[in-house]
Amino acid sequence: MGWRGLLRVVDFQRLLSSQPAVADALDKAQRAGGTKSPEVKALREAYYLLAKVLWTRRASIQRVHDLAWLDHTVVSAGARLGRVWEGAEGLRSVAEAGDRGGHAVFHELLPGEGSDWLEVPVEAYSGISPIVKLERGLSGPYRVGIVPESRLRTLSEAAATAKFDAPPIAINALGDIEAMAAAARRAGSPSVALVFAGSLFEDRSAE
């Protein structure tokens, strides 16, 4: 099994309003690689994911995970507001950062067990409820954390404090968390949150 984690500043209002951009990417991919290519399949699933979340106004742990990666790879691709960790070393750096944090806000970003629901204001379309409920916690191979705007300053300060006596592998991860929290705060929008989306997957690279 492999492991991959994403730390990302996500503007949920922009993300959940991105169906036209995803549809455009889907159209280009179909013309370039045909309707059955892996890229086309992934983009089609992404389009339906956005539709489901908009319709239900809820996103489970797996859906939040997929939304964060959709934002990273398609919607806001190229924006310098994301950090990817991979493999055993990446997993250890995240675990060390969480252990060193020792503050309740770290459990919101790097949950260890259980789950809870967070409300984020999103006005994707007029006439629709301006609240989307997002689940964070553990579910099967997925681990998702969300720190909303109101908690970003607390997270940034906690990460800065935790770096003082942390080992190098944790210092790097804590530095990423501190920097991303600061970037999310600068956005100044209640629809912006810092999201951690990690998962285990079947690694076929050695085959």
As for how many domains the chain has, the answer is: 1
Q: What integer pLDDT is reported at residue 115 of this predicted model? A: 94
**Angle, alpha carbons 2-6-7 (nearest 5°):** 150
Mean pLDDT of the chain: 88
Is position 129 within any domain? yes
Tell me the pLDDT tens digit for each residue of 155-171. 999 999 888 888 888 89
The terminus-to-terminus CA distance of the chain in angstroms comes to 13
Greatest Cα pair distance in the chain: 53
Q: Is residue 207 part of a domain?
A: no
Whether residue 206 lies inside any domain: the answer is: no
Give the whole-angstrom CA distance, residue 4 versus residue 67: 15
Confidence (pLDDT) at 79 = 76
Measured in whole angstroms, the distance separating CA 106 from the mean position of its chain's CA atoms is 15
**Structure-model confidence comparison of residues 54 and 201, the more confident one:** 54
The domain of 103 spans 2-79+86-201
In a domain, 119, yes or no: yes
* d(C-alpha 204, C-alpha 58), whole Å: 32
Residue 206: pLDDT band with limits 50, 70, 90? very low
Could you tell me if 115 and 143 are in contact, meaning their C-beta atoms sit under 8 angstroms apart? no
CA distance 206 to 76: 31
**Does some domain include residue 154?**
yes
